[in-house]
DNA sequence: CCCGTTGTTATACGAATGTATAATAGCGTC
DNA sequence: GACGCTATTATACATTCGTATAACAACGGG
């Protein structure tokens, strides 16, 4: 009668894991940890809750996988924007900065998602390790771009410090722009970020090419 | 035998509410919302869970009260740190920056507490209103300090933009230093912040006076 | 000194959570 | 085309959550 077992298709481990991770990210962004329950995640991914424990050791394990996925995607997006365009060092750095300070990278949903993860840092050492890895990954890209500027009279230590400072500007502005999007019109945050990074590095950064003329 | 009812003292509504708010802040900082349960908060405050509903409409109501309390205390601390010392504009700004980039302001526990609240922003309009108020309050202080530098050839709009940029640097570095305290030795973050703010403003900021000679 | 008010505790309840275990069915293999 | 492996579903379980309600006791006023 009503007791029909739902039909399903067997799929690869890879696609199932990704579907579950994406579903977890969706729910975490929309409603935070309170909403991202095992049942809700499975439902969003089109499976039943039990399957999560078949691919992940537990909910914490899934959360960690989602965090790594999220952070690597953020960096990859900025890297892609940086790589897409003229090879001039200053133009590349300029694209890297501005792409981090506008949608889809700078977005309220990403902020709440990010804060949700950040909260798990101090209680979960493994999460902190993931954070360190991905943070260093982003900063290393930034540092390489700064080194490529070939500014005279700047050694490696200075470039490292400058990368930390620029990373701070970008993070902070990203935070503010995503927390209060209605407070900053148009590309205000991008321009402020560009000028601040330029001031810190003592280099004049060009405004990036507009997609829409 | 064992069924002894625990003794207690009647106390004022004010002190009970504050005790509950402080307990909630403690637990939110230590373990996030997952740990700050009604029972845990009551236990920390030295009362039983039922009492919370006697003083607050529900857990959400207590959370809002805790958020308000936390933000007001943060603002008061920042203003105090800025005001305590010589009246030189550059020295005041310097103290304001560095005091935000070292303990007890820059601390892992404050970071998790802050992220915990930030997460409630997108679902609770009342929280967002409080966030906007306090953020603008903080930035206005910073902007006033920047205006007081009396840099030649800088208008009000420029000072506003500079305040946003400096706020970004401070927030971002605070974030990174609190998230990975073991990554930055000594006063590295403070010095980087000082130099970055100085570069953005085109002003050389003095290193603040040391408390310990 | 007793008594009423009410701050406070104790207990209970329904819902929801993460996890464990058993049953089923899709799909490759022979 | 039957079989076996295992991905997937279904069900059950213990726990914990926020909240509701009833019993108790501390303290002030008569």
Domain ranges of chain A: 11-56, 64-201
Architecture of domain B66-201: Orthogonal Bundle (1.10)
Best CATH choice for the domain B10-56 from the list 1.10.3720.10, 3.40.50.720, 3.40.1390.20, 1.10.10.60: 1.10.10.60
For A32-77, the pLDDT digits (tens) are 888 999 999 999 999 999 999 999 999 999 999 999 999 889 889 8
Contact A195, A184 (CB under 8 A): no
Fold: same for B10-56 and B66-201: no
Tell me if the domain spanning A64-201 has CATH number 3.40.50.150.
no
Overall average pLDDT of the B4-28 stretch = 92
Average pLDDT of the residues of chain B: 88
Average pLDDT of the residues of chain A: 90
Quote the CA–CA distance of A48 and A35 in Å, as a whole number.
16
pLDDT at B1: 44
Quote the CA–CA distance of B61 and B69 in Å, as a whole number.
12
Looking at B87-124, list the stretches that DSSP marks H as alpha helix, in order from N- to C-terminal side.
Answer: 89-100, 108-118
Distance C26 C1' – A151 CA (angstroms)? 62
For A158-170, the pLDDT digits (tens) are 999 999 999 999 9
Give the number of other Cβ atoms within 10 Å of residue B153's Cβ: 6
Q: Give B-chain residues touching A185 at CB under 8 angstroms.
A: none
Omega before A47 within 30 of 0, i.e. cis: no
Overall average pLDDT of the A108-119 stretch = 87
| Ranges assigned E (strand) in A37-122 | none
Per-residue CA distances from B206 to A90, B65, B88, B103, B198 (Å): 30, 39, 10, 20, 9
More confident residue, B30 or B89: B89
pLDDT at A213: 40
Omega before A104 within 30 of 0, i.e. cis: yes
pLDDT of residue A1 exceeding 50 = no
pLDDT of residue B189 exceeding 60 = yes
Q: Do B164 and A116 lie within an 8 Å CB cutoff?
A: no
Q: Give B-chain residues touching A175 at CB under 8 angstroms.
A: 168, 171-172, 175
Give the number of other Cβ atoms within 10 Å of residue A199's Cβ: 21
pLDDT of residue B170 exceeding 50 = yes
Q: Which two tokens stand for residue B197?
A: 């703010």
Contact B111, A123 (CB under 8 A): no
pLDDT interval class at B209 (50, 70, 90): low
Per-residue CA distances from B114 to A32, B60, B70, B83, B119 (Å): 15, 17, 9, 24, 9
pLDDT at B3: 59
Q: Name the residue with the least CA to C1' distance from nucleotide D11.
A: A50
More confident residue, A118 or A210: A118
B-interface mutation test, from A29, A130, A143, A168, most B Cβ less than 10 A away: A168
Find, in chain B, the residue whose alpha carbon is nearest to that of A139: B176
For B119-161, the pLDDT digits (tens) are 877 777 778 887 888 888 889 999 999 999 989 989 999 999 9
Q: What angle separates helix B59-83 from helix B89-100, to the nearest 10 degrees?
A: 140
Overall average pLDDT of the B53-66 stretch = 93
More confident residue, A2 or B52: B52
Give the angle B69-B72-B75 at the CA atoms, nearest 5°: 150
Per-residue CA distances from A100 to A104, A107, A114 (Å): 8, 10, 14
Q: Which two tokens stand for residue A53?
A: 């424990």
For A160-206, the pLDDT digits (tens) are 999 999 999 999 999 999 988 988 988 999 999 999 999 999 988 88
Distance D10 C1' – A32 CA (angstroms)? 28
Q: Name the residue with the least CA to C1' distance from nucleotide C21.
A: A50
Quote the CA–CA distance of A120 and A118 in Å, as a whole number.
5
Tell me if the domain spanning A11-56 has CATH number 2.30.40.10.
no
Within an 8 Å CB–CB cutoff, is residue B198 touching chain A?
no
Q: Do A168 and B173 lie within an 8 Å CB cutoff?
A: yes
Give the number of other Cβ atoms within 10 Å of residue B9's Cβ: 5
Q: Give B-chain residues touching A122 at CB under 8 angstroms.
A: 108-109, 111-112
Nearest to B120 by CA among A27, A121, A33: A33
Q: Do A122 and B108 lie within an 8 Å CB cutoff?
A: yes
């Amino acid at each position: 009668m009503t007791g029909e077992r739902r039909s399903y298709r067997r799929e690869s481990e890879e696609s199932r894991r990704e579907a579950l991770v994406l579903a977890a990210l969706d729910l975490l962004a929309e409603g935070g940890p309170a909403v991202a329950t095992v049942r809700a995640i499975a439902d969003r991914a089109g499976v039943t809750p039990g399957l999560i424990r078949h691919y992940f050791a537990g909910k914490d394990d899934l959360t960690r996988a989602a965090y790594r996925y999220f952070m690597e995607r953020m960096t990859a997006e900025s890297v892609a924007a940086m790589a897409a365009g003229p090879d001039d060092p200053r133009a590349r750095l300029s694209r890297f900065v501005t792409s981090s300070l506008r949608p889809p990278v700078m977005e309220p949903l990403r902020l709440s998602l990010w804060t949700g993860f950040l909260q798990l840092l101090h209680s979960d050492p493994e999460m902190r390790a993931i954070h360190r890895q991905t943070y260093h990954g982003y900063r290393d890209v930034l540092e390489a771009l700064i080194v490529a500027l070939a500014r005279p009279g700047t050694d490696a230590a200075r470039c490292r410090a400058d990368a930390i400072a620029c990373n701070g500007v970008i993070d902070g502005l990203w935070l503010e722009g995503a927390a209060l999007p209605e407070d900053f019109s148009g590309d205000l945050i991008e321009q402020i970020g560009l000028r601040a990074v330029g001031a810190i590095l003592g280099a004049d950064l060009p405004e990036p090419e507009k997609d829409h003329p």
